[in-house]
């Protein structure tokens, strides 16, 4: 994977790390943005239709994420599965799992 993403005139572009969910762009003071990365459907964005440089650079079907605060664009990582949730695969939940019966509960249910 290349280290530098192709830059566009009106957009800052970076590569998203595998399962990255928050923006890692620093401001002038060195503070991280930390905004959530959301899948950006640039063909439906009115402002991007007027600009058109993302569509011209990456085509109609590119998987692009955008920070909700600083609007930095992130290209998808080749290390993670395509067309999945930005949050990644997640962890298995402990809620709602079927637990084994306690000793003695089986007798009560049979009666």
Q: By C-alpha distance, which of 29, 21, 7, 16 is closest to 78?
A: 16
Give one word for 102, left, alpha or beta, with left for phi > 0 and alpha for psi -120 to 50.
beta
pLDDT(37) > 90: yes
* Mean per-residue pLDDT, 39-49: 86
* Mean per-residue pLDDT, 8-20: 88
Q: What CA–CA distance (Å, rounded) separates 19 from 10?
A: 26
Distances (CA, A) of 109 to 60, 96, 100: 59, 21, 14
pLDDT band, residue 84 (cuts 50/70/90): low
Instruction: State the pLDDT at residue 79.
Output: 76
Total-model pTM: 0.68
Tell me which H or E stretch contains 57: helix 53-58
Q: How big is the CA angle at 74 (ends 37 and 76), to the nearest 5 degrees?
A: 100
């Amino acid at each position: 994977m290349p280290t530098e993403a192709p830059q566009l005139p009106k957009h800052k572009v970076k590569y998203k790390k595998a399962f990255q969910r928050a923006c890692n762009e620093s401001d002038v003071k060195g503070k991280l943005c930390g905004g959530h990365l959301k899948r950006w459907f640039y063909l439906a964005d009115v402002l991007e239709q007027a600009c058109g440089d993302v569509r011209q650079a990456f085509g109609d079907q590119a998987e692009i994420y955008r920070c909700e605060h600083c609007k930095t664009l992130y290209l998808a990582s080749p290390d993670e599965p395509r067309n999945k949730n930005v949050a990644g695969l997640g962890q298995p939940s402990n809620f709602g799992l079927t637990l084994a019966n306690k000793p003695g509960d089986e007798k009560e249910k049979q009666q």
